[in-house]
Amino acid sequence: MEKVRWGFIGAGSIAKKALYPALMNSQVGEIYAVASRSAELAKSLAPSGRIYTSYDDLLADENVEAIYISLPNSLHIPWSIKAMQAGKHVLCEKPVGMNADEVRSAIAVQKETGMLFTEASWNRWHPRTIRLKEIVASGVLGNIKSIRTAFTYDGLDDGNIRTAPELGGGGLYDLGPYSVAAPLWLLDFAPHKDITSKVTWHPLGSDETVVVKFTIGTAQAEAMTSMNTPLTLYFDVVGEKGSVSTGGNDAFNSHNSASTLEITIDGKTSIENFAACDPYQLMADSFSRKIRGGDAWLMPLSESLAFAQFFDEIFATLK
């Protein structure tokens, strides 16, 4: 299969740490061009490819087939729309939009253009994540009674764009697509209600720490995100007949490291082991194969819209 030619819009830390190595190791995709306001940054991610200091110039390059967008959150939808209108497939960093209306506008363009458009929630491609979903869906745990999730980190300086609300900063947009969204997809988007939230605001105005509680299906869910709490990650699911939890402190960020699931059913506990893998590459390769007409799973846009709607509901409780 001819490798898909990728163009990057944005050359910051997430692009360098995530999709750059994923595509450098890929057999189905390659970095063809990078656009950044800094030519030096662009060159660091495209040592043998084309570099642009204008995003529009990259979109005008007819050889670019797929676009990876890793700009500040507030720019995700505008550049995703421009890219699709330019005839490019788009893999956009999460959150794909700042609210549900933005996501709907991009979905409308996707339908008009026929381009692929996917939110880069890379954890969803991890084999452990897929297996956890399989276990819950199988019914071996019985009706799910509780779901607890968390993704936090600390040490964020005030100059980081994640602290700037005007750029879409804040813990909920940054980490919510992992921990807060997880109960929704885990339970197949069962009806939810009774959302309550507690927030600690960053001095610059973004949401620093958010704890969300809600009912989904038969389960009581509690999800936490924070930009000022020591690194804490967990994903615990308890049912009538048993439970399943991610082992270790890596529930949503296991990347090139071995990982585990701890499963207890009718009082008997077992551990499932997962080899080290790069979920970013699994995601990018699936996207590339889909472009070439292959059979590959991509996270549906309907899920991205559901997440955006849910975040809108949560933000409404924070005001």
* Residues annotated as part of the active site: 94
Residue 89 CA to residue 115 CA, distance in Å, equals 5
- Tokens for 80, please give them: 């995703």
Answer whether 211's CB lies under 8 Å from 197's CB: yes
CB under 8 Å to 92, separation ≥6 — which residues?
Answer: 68, 69, 76, 80, 117, 118, 119, 120
The H-assigned helical ranges of the chain are: 13-14, 20-24, 39-45, 55-59, 76-85, 100-113, 127-138, 171-175, 182-186, 279-291, 301-318
Is residue 133 packed enough to be buried (19+ CB in 10 Å), middle (13-18) or exposed (0-12)?
A: middle
CB 92 within 8 A of CB 118: yes
Q: 3-state DSSP: the chain helix, strand, coil percent, rounded to 5? A: 35, 30, 35
Q: Are 217 and 239 in contact (CB under 8 A)?
A: no
